[in-house]
Amino acid sequence: MPAFLSPEMNTPSARSASPIVAADARPDPARSGPRPVALPSVRSVDPPALLTSLRQLMHLRSVAIVGQGAAVCIALLLGVELNVVPIGMVIGALVVLNVLNAARLKRGTPTTHYEVAANLALDLAAFSALLLLTGGTANPFALLYLLHVVLISLLLPWRLALAGTLLVVASFALAFRFATPITLASGDSISDAMMATGLRHGRCSVARARAPAARGRTARPERRSSAANRHLGRRRRA
């Protein structure tokens, strides 16, 4: 006889216990192990280091803006002729880029290495434009190309860092070949004026160095003549 037709299963106690048995027979999700969780893809992950890199670039750009503005003001005070309008436009573009980056960091949206690379490329383009307008590689600030190489190697993966380093080399060659020479208000080249100033200072220093020796040579005959006069005076008295 089937179990559900047996007299024991038809009793009230058996009928009340059967749902409990059926409920116990259901699989427990807690006992079956943790459910698999869908992980986000690698591109959607936003490491905090990337946002920190953007923030550091924004701070360095602020320092560069202040330094570039101060350098332009000092050069104008020294009588150096500069294309103030395009230089001001480049510095203004850096200010706008910094404002956009500040607003972007406040939103806290995810970022990638490509965005960091784009910021580095814009900084490099602005720096190269300023060098093209202010003497190129003859400008002492051309050494800051090394800083761009260091930042690229620290903040980017090796493939992007290699491409960025090649871009720095190309920018340096462009600044060396097509830069506008710096001139003074008198029309002289800044290099010729600096050379003439150096020669003038050199001549002055040589003249100052020779002056004590010349005084010593002229003082010795005077001492000898005074001693001879005293000796002659004694002989005449005698």
pLDDT attached to residue 49: 86
* The pair of three-digit structure tokens given for residue 156, joined into one six-digit string: 């980017």
The proportion of the chain whose per-residue pLDDT surpasses 90, expressed as a percent, equals 48
Task: For residues 209 and 213, give the distance between their C-alpha atoms in angstroms, rounded to a whole number.
Answer: 8
The secondary element (H helix, E strand) that includes residue 80 is strand 80-81
This prediction's pTM: 0.63
Tokens 């050494």 sit at which residue? 143
Interatomic CA distance for residues 139 and 46, integer angstroms: 39
Residue pLDDT, tens place only, 59-115: 999 999 999 999 999 999 988 889 999 999 999 999 999 999 999 999 988 889 999
Q: Where are the domains of the chain?
A: 48-184
pLDDT reported for residue 109 = 87
Q: Give the Cβ contact number of residue 45 at 10 Å.
A: 11
The answer, yes or no, to whether residue 228 has pLDDT greater than 80, is: no
Q: Which two tokens stand for residue 148?
A: 């761009």
- pLDDT of residue 160 exceeding 60, the answer is yes
19-24 long-range contacts, Cβ below 8 Å, gap at least 24?
none
Q: Which of 199, 198, 201, 181 is nearest to 190 (CA)?
A: 181
Helix (H) or strand (E) holding 184: strand 183-184
For residue range 1-23, list pLDDT tens digits in order.
Answer: 554 445 544 555 545 444 444 44
